[in-house]
Amino acid sequence: MLVGTTIFHICAYGQVAEKRAPRGFDKVRANIFRGNIDTVSYTSETVGTTRKALVYTPPLFSENKNYPVLYLLHGIGGDETEWLRGGSPQVIFDNLYADGKLAPMIVVMPNGRAMEDDRATGDIMAREKVVAFATFERDLLDDLIPFIEKQYPVKSSREYRAIAGLSMGGGQALNFGLGNLDEFAWVGGFSAAPNTKDPHTLVPDPGLAKEKLKLLWISCGDQDELLRFSQQTHEYLLDHEVPHIYYIEPGGHNFKVWKNDLYMFSRLLFKPVD
């Protein structure tokens, strides 16, 4: 595991290092195999409702294999469809598979606002809606992950489970991933929002984080007003010698940045780390 500290400093994992996604990475290509997107409904004991998630299964998906899983989380203005509508993750993944650059994995896009009315309507900054993003930790761990592990052929140990997200979802991914090192080994925060716990609370035991994590990724656009949340996390990790990738790229708080992050982060997942 390596630490990247400079702009665009990113480390090679046995392949030629790319500094950012190449042109066309998010454009639909003809004549390649494609993955599939399902909408699933699961019973949430946490919320007391039936909740929805989208599930991307990779090209040539087989029930006879077992796949690692990436849980991919949305922002404060979104829901389980936000990545699909704004980030075309299925196109990015299909292209990565066509180029042999991605480990086969299932990607689950949940609704991270764990409350009865979980739509992104009305005052999305209302206190109870922001609190619902924290409540989602229990929904994810107690309801959704067990559901996915029953419904799909997945590898269910921590080494095969990743969590990442954008903005509020980036804060969730850092909070839940680093707060549950027995559940996740791969953690990515894209433009993490103010819901990110302060670094001492986030990583109270740097030695344990260092031992358990396969990959800790923190990225943000250099024009993003929320940059300080990524920066303060990075500085703490650096001070406490927790290996991580800190990837600052040109851009603001938008899908241009998050699509690039998804491309760069996903291709590191579930591969040997040096």
Residues at the contact surface with ligand FER, assessed by CB under 6 A? 75-76, 130, 167-168, 193-195
**Min dist. Cβ of residue 221 to ligand FER (A):** 12
Nearer to ligand FER, 75 or 110 (CB): 75
**Min dist. Cβ of residue 195 to ligand FER (A):** 6
Nearer to ligand FER, 57 or 167 (CB): 167
Nearer to ligand FER, 168 or 213 (CB): 168
Residue type, 42: Y
**Min dist. Cβ of residue 191 to ligand FER (A):** 7
Would you state the structure tokens that stand for residue 247, as one six-digit string? 């990837």
**Gyration radius from the chain CA atoms:** 17
Nearer to ligand FER, 123 or 274 (CB): 123
**Min dist. Cβ of residue 226 to ligand FER (A):** 6
Nearer to ligand FER, 154 or 193 (CB): 193
Nearer to ligand FER, 130 or 141 (CB): 130
**Min dist. Cβ of residue 175 to ligand FER (A):** 13
**Min dist. Cβ of residue 265 to ligand FER (A):** 17
User: What is the 3-state secondary structure of the chain?
Assistant: CCCECCCCCCCCCCCCCCCCCCCCCCCCCCCCCCCEEEEEEEEECCCCEEEEEEEEECCCCCCCCCECEEEEECCCCCCCCHHHHHHCHHHHHHHHHHCCCCCCCEEEEECCCCCCCCCCCCCCCCHHHHHHHHHHHHHHHHHHHHHHHHHCCECCCHHHEEEEEECHHHHHHHHHHHHCCCCCCEEEEECCCCCCCCHHHHCCCHHHHHHHCCEEEEEEECCCCCHHHHHHHHHHHHHCCCCCEEEEECCCCCHHHHHHHHHHHHCCCCCCCC
